[in-house]
Amino acid sequence: MKKVNILLAEDDPNLGQLLKNYLNAREFETTLITDGAQAMKVFRKEKFNICLLDVMMPELDGFALAKGIREIDSNIPIIFLTAKNLKQDVIEGFKSGADDYLTKPFSMEELIYRIEAILRRTSARPQDARAEVYTIGKFTFDVTKQLLVYQDQTRKLTTKESELLELLCRHRNEVLERNFALKSIWIDDNYFNARSMDVYITKLRKYLSKDESVEILNIHGKGYKLLC
């Protein structure tokens, strides 16, 4: 299946690289550009399915860039990434010009939700609405319905439980890094969110304890590994 091409214009190299890695780890192909003028050039040459544009950029800001992009392709979905402390009237312009709009800081998961939602709506991608279901030992985990099934017992998971278990499943039998999980789900990897995550690990361990062959292993100083 052909990958979705994303043009990512973000001048902060750290954030940009993080986003790119994250997106590429999923089913996307990301081109990272760190200034607006350059992004415009690249957009002329290559074919993209969606644009993620930071608002504050040197040379050419996100708003002007969007105008330029829309002159070439008036339908391409655009998502703006903006700082929280922007003035209201500036935000207006961006929000109205975009298919969607994210205020920093945002979680990676949220970004991906929004990209997928837009792709679904503009049907720039097959409508398959795949049922996301994982098998964890003797358990079955339905991500969209947030259900964990063991034999005849069904447990409704809460949103956070489900999000964390999904990440563990996606990285099963390899290390899910703490910071990665925190940024994905809690947005901020601060002390309190880390403690909160501990609590959820405990809960998930309790739920999964019915099957001896399944285990959430702690990798000291790094993260967790779901063995199954």
Q: Which residues contribute to the site for DNA (CB under 7 A)?
A: 156, 158-161, 178, 186, 192-196, 198-202, 205-206, 218, 220-223
Q: Looking only at residues 186 through 205 of this chain, which bind a second copy when binding is defined by CB under 8 A? A: none
- Choice between 127 and 159, CB closer to DNA: 159
- Choice between 56 and 119, CB closer to DNA: 119
- Choice between 68 and 137, CB closer to DNA: 137
Both tokens assigned to 162 = 């489900």
State the pairing for strand pair 175-177/223-227.
Answer: antiparallel
SS3 8: strand
Closest CA to 132 of 123, 120, 141: 141
Both tokens assigned to 29 = 């192909």
- Interacting partner of 17 out of DNA, a second copy, none (Cβ under 5 to 8 A depending on kind): a second copy
Neighbours of 57 (CB within 10 A): 23
| Residue 165 near residue 217, CB atoms below 8 Å | no
Q: What residues are paired with 223 via a beta bridge?
A: 177, 219
- Report how far residue 98's alpha carbon sits from residue 52's, in angstroms, rounded to the nearest whole number: 10
Both tokens assigned to 204 = 């998930």
Size of the site for a second copy (CB under 8 A): 63
CB of 225 to DNA, least distance (A): 11
- Candidates 30-38, 99-107, 188-196, 197-205: pick the segment binding a second copy (CB under 8 A): 99-107
- If one asks whether residue 107 binds a second copy (CB under 8 A), the answer comes out as yes
Closest CA to 171 of 183, 181, 179, 161: 181
- Choice between 45 and 87, CB closer to a second copy: 87
- If one asks whether residue 144 binds a second copy (CB under 8 A), the answer comes out as yes
- Interacting partner of 161 out of a second copy, DNA, none (Cβ under 5 to 8 A depending on kind): DNA
- Choice between 67 and 222, CB closer to DNA: 222
- If one asks whether residue 113 binds a second copy (CB under 8 A), the answer comes out as yes
Contacts 24+ apart (CB under 8 A), 138-146: 138/210, 138/211, 138/213, 138/214, 139/208, 139/210, 139/211, 139/214, 141/165, 141/166, 141/169
- Report how far residue 53's alpha carbon sits from residue 61's, in angstroms, rounded to the nearest whole number: 9
Residues near a second copy, by CB under 8 A: 12, 14-15, 17-19, 21-22, 24-25, 63, 66-67, 70, 74-75, 83-85, 88-89, 91-101, 104-109, 111, 113, 116-117, 120, 129, 144-146, 158-160, 171, 173-175, 215, 217-222, 225, 227
